[in-house]
Structure 1
Amino acid sequence: MADTLVNETSAFIEQLGRLGIEKDSEKRLALLRGVADLYLSRTVSPTLAEEYLFSEIANAVLRKLQPHQRPQVSTALCDSERVPHSLALALASDSDIEVARPVLSRSPVLTEGDIVALAQASSDEHLQAIATRASLTARVTDVLIDRGSNTVLRTVSGNAGAEFSEQGMLSLVTRAREDDELSLALADRGDLSPAVLEQLNGLICARVSAEAEGDDTSGTVASLRARAQALITEELRKRKANIGSTERVIAAVEAGSMTLDDGLGPLLAGGRLLDLSQVLAHFLRFDRNFVFQQMAAGEINTIVLAFRALNIAYPHLEATLALRARKRRSGQAGETTVTRQDYEAINPADAQRAMRFLKVRMTVGRQAPTENAA
């Protein structure tokens, strides 16, 4: 083992040295790929010194590559958790969107604070890349809504993994007044609050009235407005009823008069992913919006561990993943390869520890920007 580590380090340092002095552009690119492969595939995490050297030399080489070569580096590095933070930031903030896009849309290295700062300072093309990330917090979407074009807003509204603040949702409704595609994207979301639905109601009525104005000889405007009002009113009624039934499920499970599995069954049968997330969040002691993000677009492993931590039966996991696939329009009902045997082999106590660790990691992540600012 020790010999392997020594050999890995020696090879890495040797390649870094060659990379630092290479003059030919094509050879630089090939060497950088080789160094990146060595760096990312090491059996142990790189030391701080190795991370610093890799980041410094990679940044220097990137500046000397031809414009058409630079996106290749970004694409090769964007999915790795081992990419040095400084290098990921440099790539994400590159003025060339072809370089920045892979990292902005996919890098797990960027923190929420990084993404907020990038969104506040970047071009609309950069915002569009951010809007496609698998999950987005309300802090990020608030900036996208404030600065983004309608194209960005349509993308983020259709992103099942995007979380919105109440004010952000209301701002989207305001912007949707002149954008039919944005209106449709909003109407298709399952996490609209009653207040936002009320705003949509006003938007629909106003649009119907404007489009039919001056041609109401047969009561067309009044009829269409009544239909729109009826649809929104019915949606509000359903949403309020769902909130009430979700609260009753939680109370019954806590009182011991209902099992969690029995409570989740009707929610899954009704396709109520948001209400399912509310129940899971309550018993996992997580924020509902975070759980909804995971259910809608998060890592499947996180969902599996959450279900196992609560000792939920495998058929409910299977039904949840099928519902998630339908909501994402992926058409992949069998999105996961987790079998009943694999699921039931997970020790619930281990899954509970994993959930506690995730909660601690999230708490530390939220505190870090504040501490750094201080």
Structure 2
Amino acid sequence: MNLANGLIDQLEIALASPELSKRAELLRQVADLFVLGSGKFSDVQIDLFDGVMSTLLKNIECTARATFGGRLSRLPDAPLRTIRLLAFDDAPEVAAPVLEHSPRLDEVTLAENARTKSQDHLLAIAGRSQLTEPVTDVLVERGNSDVAVRTAGNGGARFSVQGMSRLTGRARDHGALAICIWARPDIPRASLLKLFVHASEMVRRKLEAADPRQAALIRSAIAESSDELHTMARAGSSEHARALAEVRSLHSGGQLDEAHVLDFIGERSFDKTAVALSLMSDLPIGAIERALVRSEPEQILILAKAIGLSWDTTKAILTFQPGSPHEAKERLEQCFASFLRLKPNTAKAALQFYRLRERAGQGPAH
């Protein structure tokens, strides 16, 4: 085959020469040849190019590697071994174009790269047109603020429940990240509510610190604004509308019970769980949603004890939102001790106080 013989002859000449510039020049010529014929080569020919390119890439200057990588980065038939070498190059300027654009990198390779390479490498991956959950999980866990913001702002990124929960947690004190998450159409409403709650608390603390004399007025104004946002989020959610109809039907028929709550949690349905607890406790839906997304467990413990839920169901509610296993274990041990100490009459009295407080604030009903 003329193509093979010609490439091999030139490769032998370049490798025999002590001048690295000859390698770089041959690599440029090989790249010209491959780009020109891209889409027309057989697998055997692509494998030949792969061997030549991956050999020439060794010991040439960074600028030449970066230029070469940029030319191959968008080709759908670029040689796999060569693309991997470029993607895992320690120099971000070499790796970035390939990591961001190459269709030859699968999710396993991208996740491996994100676990092992620099933040600049992660930033490039975060800009890909499509990102699967295994990749975004690593980006959210390992990435710095810039990586997190770019990942959250990527419309082609998909997040696991764990990944979205971690991303939401990172957004508590990061305005730019919170805005990116709020703008996503696929954000679960539970994560959206968690952002609302934490943002409201952060704003409240800052305003109260600036003017402690207005603390009561500040709390009232922020609570009112937060309730309006929650109501808007529910009104725009078809999932909430379906959950409301289903759970209300069970409740009106006298069938809504603890077993159904466990079923809703098993379905990972935030809306059904919230509506069920709202109806069973006679508390406004907004109060239940805030309790479910807050990190403090006291309200959930009181609510569960007051309406007669078992510890198993209470534990399922508390672990509804994912967290680290170590934190979850410690937290559950403390919650279990508090749940055992809490008397039903005390819990019912506290629940009645919650009802009066919510009604005084004219919070939205179920």
The TM-score normalised by the length of structure 2 is 0.60
- For residue 10 of structure 1, report the CA deviation from its aligned partner: 5.0
**Separation (CA, whole Å) in 1 of partners of 2:159 and 2:27:** 39
Match status 1:217 vs 2:205: no
Contact 2:4 2:48 in 1 (8 A): no
The superposition leaves residues 75-95 of structure 1 with CA deviations (integer Å, 9 ceiling, x where unpaired) of: 111111222211111110111
Match status 1:240 vs 2:238: yes
Instruction: Name the residue aligned to 1:166.
Output: 161
The superposition leaves residues 19-46 of structure 1 with CA deviations (integer Å, 9 ceiling, x where unpaired) of: 4445433332222121122234336323
Structure 1 counterpart of 2:164, which letter? M
**Separation (CA, whole Å) in 2 of partners of 1:244 and 1:18:** 71
Which ranges in structure 1 are unaligned for 5 or more consecutive residues? 1-5, 246-374
Instruction: Name the residue aligned to 1:106.
Output: 101
**Separation (CA, whole Å) in 2 of partners of 1:60 and 1:128:** 28
Match status 1:118 vs 2:113: yes
**Separation (CA, whole Å) in 1 of partners of 2:14 and 2:125:** 31
Which secondary structure state, in structure 1, belongs to the residue aligned with residue 236 of structure 2? helix
2:127 is aligned, of 116, 124, 132, to: 132
Instruction: Name the residue aligned to 2:28.
Output: 33
- For residue 166 of structure 1, report the CA deviation from its aligned partner: 1.8
**Separation (CA, whole Å) in 2 of partners of 1:41 and 1:139:** 35
Contact 1:212 1:221 in 2 (8 A): no
The superposition leaves residues 3-60 of structure 1 with CA deviations (integer Å, 9 ceiling, x where unpaired) of: xxx5555544444444444543333222212112223433632343x44443233223
Which secondary structure state, in structure 2, belongs to the residue aligned with residue 68 of structure 1? helix
Match status 1:45 vs 2:67: no
Instruction: Name the residue aligned to 1:344.
Output: none
Match status 1:152 vs 2:147: yes
Match status 1:89 vs 2:87: no
The superposition leaves residues 150-193 of structure 1 with CA deviations (integer Å, 9 ceiling, x where unpaired) of: 11000100111111112211111100112111111111111111
Contact 1:177 1:183 in 2 (8 A): yes
Q: Which moved more, 1:195-204 or 1:173-182?
A: 195-204
Contact 2:76 2:102 in 1 (8 A): yes
Instruction: Name the residue aligned to 2:348.
Output: none
Which secondary structure state, in structure 1, belongs to the residue aligned with residue 57 of structure 2? helix
Contact 1:39 1:46 in 2 (8 A): no
- For residue 127 of structure 1, report the CA deviation from its aligned partner: 0.7
**Separation (CA, whole Å) in 1 of partners of 2:182 and 2:67:** 38
Contact 2:30 2:53 in 1 (8 A): no
Which secondary structure state, in structure 2, belongs to the residue aligned with residue 191 of structure 1? coil
**Separation (CA, whole Å) in 1 of partners of 2:124 and 2:224:** 40
The TM-score normalised by the length of structure 1 is 0.59
Structure 2 counterpart of 1:185, which letter? C
Contact 2:234 2:240 in 1 (8 A): no
Structure 2 counterpart of 1:46, which letter? S
Which ranges in structure 2 are unaligned for 5 or more consecutive residues? 244-366
Contact 1:19 1:32 in 2 (8 A): no
Structure 1 counterpart of 2:233, which letter? E
Q: Between Structure 1 and Structure 2, how many residues are aligned?
A: 239
Which secondary structure state, in structure 2, belongs to the residue aligned with residue 213 of structure 1? helix
The superposition leaves residues 329-364 of structure 1 with CA deviations (integer Å, 9 ceiling, x where unpaired) of: xxxxxxxxxxxxxxxxxxxxxxxxxxxxxxxxxxxx
Which secondary structure state, in structure 2, belongs to the residue aligned with residue 41 of structure 1? helix
Contact 1:78 1:103 in 2 (8 A): yes
Q: Equivalent pairs: percent with the same residue?
A: 31
**Separation (CA, whole Å) in 2 of partners of 1:47 and 1:23:** 32
Q: What is the 5 A alignment of 1:187-202?
A: 187-202=182-197
Whichever of the two has the greater Rg, that structure is 2
Structure 2 counterpart of 1:134, which letter? S
Which secondary structure state, in structure 2, belongs to the residue aligned with residue 109 of structure 1? coil
Instruction: Name the residue aligned to 2:277.
Output: none
Contact 1:51 1:84 in 2 (8 A): yes
The superposition leaves residues 170-225 of structure 1 with CA deviations (integer Å, 9 ceiling, x where unpaired) of: 11110011211111111111111121122112112211221112425340232023
- What is the root-mean-square deviation in Å for CA atoms of aligned residues? 2.4
Distance 1:13 1:57, change over 3 A: closer
Which secondary structure state, in structure 1, belongs to the residue aligned with residue 120 of structure 2? helix
